[in-house]
Amino acid sequence: MKIGILRIGQVDSNIAERLQENLAAVFPDTTVTLITKPMPVPKEAFNETRQQHRSNIILRKIHTYAEKKKTLDRVLGIVNVDIYAQELNFVFGEAEYPGKAALISLWRLRPEFYGKAPNTELPVERSAKEAVHEIGHTLGLQHCSNPFCAMYFSNSTFETDRKQSLFCSKCYLKIERAEKDKVESLE
């Protein structure tokens, strides 16, 4: 699999680089590249009343970008703005299920958001977990009830910190089985 990391708006390049390393370590036989040219945050995604951005509008932009990039199997967008989806107050990310496009936001992964002291490691670890989660959705994985699995739905940084950036054996098997089915249908 080939994953491209796309920065959308102002995103700390250190976090993007560390994310690149972490994703390459999680997904076997995968190359992860950092797309050099960032994309601007789409203005139409901003909701003036909520002072937040709609994640599905940003995700659609990533989808369009991913469709054009035939060399990439997945495009993971990263933003550093607050994002929300339909009935949720906020989301850490959103992805196509299944599909090529995924999105994560660093905004609520930073300890400063919660009035805590800045820390460079926490957002790096948390973004890896949320990125693995969203890429998992693009691979056809649903939420998992195992609180340590990357596919566990986290609604707070407590839950993000508790889970790992890896899939539990059940989720891992589902991906393997889906990949096998794909190969067999090609044969």
Is 6 a residue that touches Zn ion (CB under 5 A)?
no
**Cα 175 to the center of its chain, rounded Å:** 17
Q: For residue 134, indicate whether it is catalytic.
A: yes
CA dihedral 160, 155, 157, 120 (to 10 degrees): 80
Contact call for residues 74 and 138 (beta carbons, < 8 A): yes
List, in sequence order, every residue forming a beta bridge with 57; answer none if it has no partner. none
Question: What is the smallest separation between the CB atom of 127 and Zn ion, expressed in angstroms?
Answer: 15
Binding mask 114-153 for Zn ion (x = CB under 5 A): ------------------------------x-x--x-x--
Which residue among 66, 72, 139, 171 contacts Zn ion (CB under 5 A)?
171
Is 78 a residue that touches Zn ion (CB under 5 A)?
no
CA proximity to 134, closest of 82, 80, 76, 90: 76
Taking the least distance from each CB to Zn ion, the nearer of 17 and 161 is 161
Residue ranges binding Zn ion (CB under 5 A): 144, 146, 149, 151, 168, 171
